Amino acid sequence: MAARAPFATGRARAPRRARGRSLLGEALAERLKAAALDVADDGIVISDATRPDAPIVYVSPSFERLVGYSAREILGTNCRMVQGPGTDLDTVRQIAIALSGGHVFQGEILNYRKDGTPFWNFLRIAPIRDETGKVTHYVGTQTDVTELHQARERQQELTTAVAHASRVRTVAALGASLAHEVNQPLAAVLANAEAALRLLESGKTGDVREALESIVADARRAGEIILRARRLVRNQPAQAEAVSPAQVASEVLAFVGTRVRHAGVKATLEGARSRACVRIDPVQLYQALLNLVVNAIEAMEAEPGHHPRGLAVRVEAIGERVRLRVADTGPGATDEDLARMFQTFHTTKSRGTGLGLLVTRSLVEAYGGRLEVARNAGRGLTFTIHLPGESR
């Protein structure tokens, strides 16, 4: 019984002749093939799968150029010679698994040239089988994608920097109300401390405990407000973890509490007890929601006239997904406004940067989610963050 053919046709078949793909005579075809391999930018390596540790039996000139080793130095060795200290072991393991299963491997791996310089290698390894379906060789093609990688990293850094700048601007915009927010517990601390002193002087030491407990609670509150602001301003790498959107939503509303009161906005949170959970960097979810909430407040504040100002935040789990909605009763938007809103630097505010919605959207999309906006039936807009949920 013959071994299984590559595509499991049941019966082993002789491989199709390459002749069918060429109109050239054999000698010319050979010459052109050699020339093609010579000019190709991608490296090509063939190794013998039937011998222990699959030694290399062919390298193209382009591979020699890519890695800086001569064919003489490479032939007979294993390709892992181009791996080094920064090579991801997980990727190496994936290659080994693919090869032992007779599958194609395709992926990026950090490799090193003879002179030690690293480069990102977009590597593809495919098995070649004989007529019985047995793997006899592997063909590897290598493409230097270092520049692409660097461009991607720069893009990533830029996105992080923009997100950070946008956070700093949001905190700055809340600056006055944050100072006010911190001032309140500080004033309470002072009043209670003075009361405690008076109690001590008058010998009523029994009541001092209560005053001291209030002091502790208020000092803690002030500390938390500052901690939250610092968390937003600090530039730290994103780290995803299991996060409760309900908790983030209630913290965001607490953070803008003073601002909301000053603007005469009635804020509500629905689904505060929701047990929904998402995998995300908590600071980034905080930022995304804060952007939408601050936008809603600013939109209502900027509107002339005396419309009732309402801000409704709602957290809900819909099947596998989690939805966070921010609805306002502000001026809303025309179709044109809606089209412009997500454009870079588009703002209608004297101090706006026009990055908030863009950053919010990219943060949400980075976690497999999406951001939607719709006009309300009554006044205002509703922004919705959709995120994949995570079971606890």
Ligand X SMILES: Cc1cc2nc3c(=O)[nH]c(=O)nc-3n(C[C@H](O)[C@H](O)[C@H](O)COP(=O)(O)O)c2cc1C
3-class state of residue 366 by DSSP: helix
If the CB atoms of residues 79 and 229 are measured against ligand X, the closer one turns out to be 79
Chain residues in the site for ligand X (CB under 6 A)? 45, 47, 54, 78-80, 82-83, 92, 95-96, 99, 109, 111, 121, 123, 125, 138-140, 142
Q: Single out the segment in contact with ligand ATP by CB under 6 A; choices: 21-29, 240-248, 270-278, 340-348.
A: 340-348
For residues 191 to 230, the per-residue mask of contacts with ligand ATP, x marking binding by CB under 6 A and - elsewhere, is ----------------------------------------
Among residues 111, 141, 274, 295, the one that binds Mg ion under rule CB under 5 A: 295
Minimum Å gap between C-beta 181 and ligand ATP is 20
| Pairing assessment for the beta strands 310-318 and 266-270 based on DSSP bridges | parallel
Per DSSP bridges, beta strands 105-112 and 310-318 are unpaired
Q: Where are the alpha helices (DSSP H) in 202-281?
A: 208-233, 245-255, 257-262
Residue 328 sits in the site that holds ligand ATP (CB under 6 A): yes
Q: Which residues pair with 389 in a beta bridge?
A: 278
295 three-class SS: helix
Residue in 185, 245, 310, 356 binding ligand ATP, rule: CB under 6 A:
356
Q: Which stretch binds Mg ion (CB under 5 A): 117-125, 279-287, 289-297, 334-342?
A: 289-297
| Closer Cβ to Mg ion, 74 or 174, answer by number | 174
Q: Which spans in 257-367 are helix H?
A: 257-262, 282-301, 335-341, 356-366
User: Would you count residue 347 as binding ligand ATP (CB under 6 A)?
Assistant: yes
- The window from 6-14, 50-58, 205-213, 289-297 that contacts ligand ATP (CB under 6 A) reads 289-297
Using CB distances below 5 to 8 A depending on partner kind, what does residue 123 bind out of ligand ATP, Mg ion, ligand X, none? ligand X
Candidates 309, 319, 337, 333; CA nearest to 382 is 333
Position of minimal CB gap to ligand X: 140
Q: What residue is closest to ligand ATP based on CB?
A: 356
C-alpha span between 301 and 262 (Å, rounded): 10
Strands of the chain, DSSP E: 43-48, 56-59, 105-112, 118-129, 135-144, 241-243, 266-270, 278-280, 310-318, 321-328, 370-375, 381-388
Cα within 13 Å of Cα(320), Cβ side: 3
Footprint (CB under 6 A) of ligand ATP, residues 169-188: 169
User: Please, which residue, 139 or 373, has the CB nearer to ligand X?
Assistant: 139
Length of the chain: 392
CA 40 to CA 50: how far, in whole Å?
A: 28
- Contact between 381 and ligand ATP per CB under 6 A: yes
Instruction: Report the interface residues with Mg ion, using CB under 5 A.
Output: 295, 356
Instruction: Report the interface residues with ligand ATP, using CB under 6 A.
Output: 166, 169, 291, 295-296, 299, 328, 330-331, 333, 341, 346-349, 352-358, 381
